[in-house]
């Protein structure tokens, strides 16, 4: 029995809330694990929640105009939009979110749209060096979109569909049918792009606090910053679930989803703690080199192996 | 074009030069970026809502990453493994817009005081100031210097003083615990106090900062 | 006698011959303080730099001798080839103090001269940027390193001193400890 549209929207928003809580817990538990590796104790697990409450409870806030106000709104719209079209639990009536035939491209658009809106908002920020942070962020984003887009195209060519739900359905024939084994080159290219997307080291020059313009969030404070932090959690969780769905066979239970996303986040953390920061031109040159090549090899594999078109 | 360079002074012309410095007008080009608003008092909520919000504020103290003096060297051991301040919810942030605690570490010369005032006024209500070291209390070992201030709380409102020269990280953590207690009791209302006594603070600041080329309130 | 002492002797003798230098103080084998008159100072520094290869200006500072109404300027020079230090000193009048600039020999000397202008009030006509402030912003009083500038009085007048502070003068303490029977 199909759910009514209102019920579908309600469950989609509920899944967004679950992803928000899960994203915050994931960030704090990873910070705590990193701290233990460094010999410290680390932040409490509930610290990001308190940070968001504190930011929203600031009594004054400064706005620099309409675009400044809309920047975080765009970003949150990008984050929520990404989440709405990725099935959280495959095959579930309640947590399957929305799907239609082209939603892989729509999700990629939403990922880009958030950053673009942030750039427009931060440009109105009254900070003289915001432009540097924005140009760095957009340049790096354009660079890592190349291997990511190539690998999505490879998957689409291999399975003949652009709908994420159907891509997950094609991976349900046991572990060996996961895309990580069906098209390893595309998976590796996409995971390298994932490192760029999450802006950990070595690609963290955009938002690292030690950089002079800490990127777009420089002038944002109080409830604006609260909104940006909320989006950070949702966006992180959404990207992880997207990757699990595209390459690791999706998840049919909540427990499976938690395990897979946790392990996938570890790749980020392992690379992040081992590397220093690349400059923007170095990271652009990197992404347009080997990862793009791997993406092209992935398309070649898709053409040879798949070809369901 | 900046009007902040002092002209060379011949001793006999001191009064004339002081008068000339007080007459410095802000250049017209910069005037349109200056806002002439005064800070406003924002009353806290009452009852259990404010108690909960104060608890949240005390659990998440973001300090401004501006090492104003020699006290900054004591902040580094705090961040590393031995005295780990992150487990108390204290994080450094690079911009005054996002931080809520300003640690004035050590002596504040007149030059630094101008920048301290500018950064402090850019922080958002509610904000807290911790004075580190004896120089903020009574001038410390630079008490008779012609260039350092003696009492920090005549220029910006201070919540907690941590005495020492320099206090060890354990003393700093004790100071942070005291600050958290003050915030939870609702006694750390430095921003509102600044807005209420704005004229007095501004007069004290202008008495020592002679080349004032910024707005009266740097929102 | 070592090589250093030999060379130092020759340098000091040369300075005495050419520039009317006074008697030198030999603090160590490789460190000497020699005084020349004001009009010969820059020429002596140039000669030391070009001929005797004292190419490093270590510092350029001033001492306020208020009892005699003089500033003593000290040019500390170091030679890497001979491994020697020579401090060339010259005394100038305290009122209306001016001195010829040496920024044409070392560009960094301009910064030292700016500091001397701000802290002591010694003018160096022709030096680039000598009128800009060095470390103090908006300073309108007497140059603060002069000994007749009472820094404690200025601090008590300008910055609010906190009561309960006392000064322990070491001279008074030692006087009481060593000569308790003398009533001063």
Residue pointed to by tokens 């090492």? B67
Q: Is A97 left (phi over 0), alpha (psi -120 to 50) or beta?
A: left
- Of all residues in chain C, the one with the smallest CA distance to B205 is C159
From B16-25, B121-130, C40-49, the region with the lowest mean pLDDT: B16-25
Is there a contact between C155 and B145 if contact means CB atoms under 8 Å apart? yes
- Among A143, A147, A145, A106, CA closest to A238: A106
Query: pLDDT at position A62, please?
Result: 83
Q: Which residues of B touch A217 (CB under 8 A)?
A: 98
Q: Is the pLDDT of residue A232 over 50?
A: yes
Q: Is residue C172 part of a domain?
A: no
Q: Cα–Cα distance between B130 and B141 in angstroms, integer?
A: 19
Pick the more confident residue, B119 or A212.
Answer: B119
- Contact call for B87 and A222, based on CB within 8 A: no
Q: Say whether residue C125 is in contact with chain B using an 8 A CB cutoff.
A: no
Sequence-separated contacts (24+) of A254-263 with Cβ below 8 Å: A254/A89, A257/A88, A257/A89, A258/A22, A261/A22, A261/A26, A261/A237, A262/A26
- Domain of residue A227 covers 5-305
Residue B148 touches partner C, C-beta closer than 8 Å: yes
In a domain, C182, yes or no: no
CATH number assigned to the domain comprising residue C95: 3.30.460.80
Residue B212 reports pLDDT greater than 60: yes
Q: How far is B13 from chain A (nearest CA, A)?
A: 40
Asked if B179 and B101 touch (Cβ cutoff 8 Å), the reply is yes
CB contact under 8 A, B57 and A221: no
Going by the DSSP 8-state scheme, the letter that residue B211 receives in this structure is -
Task: State the total domains in chain C.
Answer: 1
**Cβ–Cβ gap C140/B111 under 8 Å:** no
Dihedral angle, C-alpha A95, A100, A104, A108, nearest 10 ° = -90
Q: Please report residues of B whose CB lies closer than 8 A to that of C162.
A: 137-139, 150-151
Name the DSSP letter for residue A219.
G
Q: What's the pLDDT at A124?
A: 78
Measured CA to CA, the distance from residue A250 to residue A86 in angstroms comes to 10
pLDDT of residue C117: 94
Q: Stretch B156-160: mean pLDDT, rounded?
A: 95
Taking only the tens place, the pLDDT of each residue in A277-287 is 899 999 999 99
Looking at the structure of chain A, the number of domains it has is 1
pLDDT digits (tens, 9 = 90+) for C67-123: 999 999 999 999 999 999 999 999 999 999 999 999 999 999 999 999 999 999 999
| Neighbour count for residue A302 (Cβ, 10 Å) | 24
| pLDDT for residue B33 | 63
- Residue A291: per-residue pLDDT: 93
Domains of chain B: 47-208 (3.40.50.12280)
B59 touches chain A (CB under 8 A): yes
- Hey, which of A77-86, C66-75, C128-137 has the most confident mean pLDDT? C66-75
At C90, is the secondary structure helix, strand, or coil?
A: strand
Per residue in A55-82, pLDDT tens? 999 998 888 888 888 888 888 888 888 8
Q: What percent of chain C has pLDDT over 70?
A: 98
Q: How far is A79 from chain B (nearest CA, A)?
A: 22
Chains B–C, number of C-beta pairs less than 8 Å apart: 81
Greater pLDDT, B15 or A16: A16
Q: Is the pLDDT of residue B32 over 70?
A: no
Question: Does the CB of B20 have a partner CB in chain C at under 8 Å?
Answer: no
Arithmetic mean of pLDDT, A91-96: 77
**Which of residues B33 and C2 earns the better pLDDT score?**
C2
- The mean pLDDT value for A214-238 works out to 85
> Chain C closest CA to B191's CA: distance in Å?
22
Closest CA to C118 of C94, C138, C136: C136
Question: What are B48-77's pLDDT values in tens digits?
Answer: 999 999 999 999 999 998 989 898 999 999
ipTM metric:
0.85
Token pair in block for residue A261: 């996303």
Residue C168 contacts B, CB cutoff 8 Å:
no
Cα separation, A148 vs A142, whole angstroms: 10
In a domain, residue C184? The reply is: no
Q: Is position C33 within any domain?
A: yes
**Partner-chain contact C140 B145, CB within 8 Å:** no
Any residues with CB less than 8 A from the CB of B165 and at least 6 apart, and which? B133, B134, B135, B140, B141
Determine, for residues B100 and A35 on separate chains, whether the beta-carbon distance falls below 8 Å.
no
Report the SS3 class of residue B177.
Answer: helix
Dist CA C76 CA C32 (whole Å): 10
DSSP conformation letters of B111-130:
HHHHHHHHHHHHSPSS-EEE
Residue of A213 and A107 predicted with greater confidence: A107
The span from the first CA to the last CA of chain B, in angstroms, equals 22
Which candidate from B21, B111, B150 shows the least CB-CB separation from C159? B150
At A210 the pLDDT is 74
- Mean pLDDT over each residue of chain C, to the nearest integer: 91
The model's confidence at residue A193, banded by pLDDT at 50, 70 and 90, is: very high
Computed over every residue of chain B, the mean pLDDT equals 85
Range(s) of the domain holding residue C22: 3-162
Mean pLDDT of B77-104: 92
| Cβ contact, residue pair A42, B84, below 8 Å | yes
Question: Does chain A reach chain B with at least 3 CB pairs under 8 Å?
Answer: yes
Question: Does residue C167 form part of some domain?
Answer: no
Q: Compute and round to an integer the Cα radius of gyration of chain A.
A: 19
Residue A27 or residue B10, greater confidence = A27
Helix (H) or strand (E) holding A186: helix A184-197
What is the predicted pLDDT for the residue at B3? 40
What is the per-residue pLDDT for B36? 76
pLDDT at B5: 44
């Amino acid at each position: 029995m199909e759910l009514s549209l209102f019920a579908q929207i309600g469950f989609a928003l509920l899944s967004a809330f679950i992803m928000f809580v899960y994203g915050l817990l994931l960030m704090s538990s990873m910070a705590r694990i990193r701290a233990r590796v460094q010999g410290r104790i680390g932040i409490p697990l509930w610290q990001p929640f308190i940070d968001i409450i504190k930011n929203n409870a600031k009594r004054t806030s400064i706005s620099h105009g309409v675009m400044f106000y809309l920047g975080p709104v765009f970003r949150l719209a990008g984050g929520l939009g990404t989440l709405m079209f990725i099935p959280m639990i495959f095959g579930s009536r309640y947590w399957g979110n929305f799907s239609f035939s082209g939603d892989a491209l729509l999700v990629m658009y939403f990922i880009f749209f958030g950053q673009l809106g942030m750039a427009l908002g931060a440009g109105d920020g009254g900070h003289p060096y915001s432009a540097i942070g924005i140009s760095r962020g957009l340049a790096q984003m354009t660079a890592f979109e190349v291997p990511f887009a190539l690998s999505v195209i490879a998957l689409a060519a291999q399975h003949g569909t652009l709908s994420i739900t159907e891509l997950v359905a094609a991976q349900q024939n046991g572990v060996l049918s996961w895309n990580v084994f069906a098209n390893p080159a595309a998976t590796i290219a996409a995971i390298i792009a994932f490192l760029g997307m999450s802006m950990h080291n070595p690609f963290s020059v955009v938002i690292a606090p030690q950089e002079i313009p800490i990127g777009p969030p420089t002038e944002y404070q109080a409830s604006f910053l609260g909104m940006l932090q909320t989006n950070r959690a949702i966006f992180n969780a959404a990207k992880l679930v997207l990757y699990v769905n595209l390459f690791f066979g999706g998840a049919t239970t909540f427990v499976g989803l938690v395990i897979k996303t946790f392990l996938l986040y570890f790749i980020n953390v392992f690379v992040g703690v081992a590397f220093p920061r690349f400059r923007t031109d170095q990271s652009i040159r990197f992404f347009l080199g080997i990862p793009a090549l791997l993406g092209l090899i992935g398309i070649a594999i898709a053409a040879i192996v798949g070809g369901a078109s | 074009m900046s009007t902040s360079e002092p002209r060379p002074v011949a001793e006999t012309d001191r009064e004339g030069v002081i008068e000339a410095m007080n007459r410095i007008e802000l250049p017209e080009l910069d005037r349109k970026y200056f806002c002439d608003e005064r800070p406003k008092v924002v009353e806290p909520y009452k009852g259990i809502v404010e108690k909960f919000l104060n608890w949240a504020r005390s659990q998440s103290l973001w300090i401004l990453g501006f090492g104003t003096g020699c006290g900054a060297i004591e902040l580094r051991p705090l961040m590393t493994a031995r005295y780990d301040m992150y487990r108390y919810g204290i994080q450094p942030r690079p911009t005054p817009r996002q931080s809520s605690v300003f640690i004035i570490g050590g002596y504040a010369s007149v030059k630094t005081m101008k920048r301290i005032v500018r950064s402090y006024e850019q922080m958002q209500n509610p904000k807290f100031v911790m004075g580190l070291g004896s120089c903020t209390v009574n001038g410390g070992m630079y008490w008779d210097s012609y260039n350092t201030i003696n009492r920090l709380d005549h220029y910006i409102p201070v919540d907690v003083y941590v005495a020492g020269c320099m206090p060890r990280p354990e003393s700093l953590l004790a100071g942070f615990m005291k600050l958290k207690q003050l915030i939870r009791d609702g006694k750390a209302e430095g921003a509102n106090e600044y807005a209420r006594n704005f004229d007095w603070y501004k007069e004290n600041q202008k008495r020592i900062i002679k080349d004032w080329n910024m707005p009266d309130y740097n929102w | 006698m070592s090589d250093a002492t030999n060379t130092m002797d020759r340098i000091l003798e040369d300075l005495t011959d050419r520039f009317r230098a006074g008697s030198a103080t030999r603090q160590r084998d490789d460190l000497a303080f020699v005084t020349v008159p004001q009009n010969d100072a820059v020429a002596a520094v140039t000669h030391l730099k070009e001929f005797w290869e004292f190419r490093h200006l270590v510092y350029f500072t001033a001492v306020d001798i208020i009892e005699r109404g003089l500033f003593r300027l000290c040019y500390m020079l170091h030679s890497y080839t001979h491994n020697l230090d020579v401090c060339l000193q010259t005394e100038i009048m305290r009122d209306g103090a001016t001195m010829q600039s040496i920024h044409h020999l070392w560009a960094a000397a301009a910064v030292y001269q700016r500091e001397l202008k701000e802290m002591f009030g010694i003018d160096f006509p022709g030096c680039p940027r000598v009128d800009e402030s060095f470390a103090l912003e908006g300073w309108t009083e007497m140059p603060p390193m002069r000994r007749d500038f009472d820094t404690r009085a200025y601090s008590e007048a300008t910055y609010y001193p906190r009561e309960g502070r006392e000064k322990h003068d070491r001279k008074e303490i030692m006087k009481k400890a060593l000569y308790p029977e003398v009533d001063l």
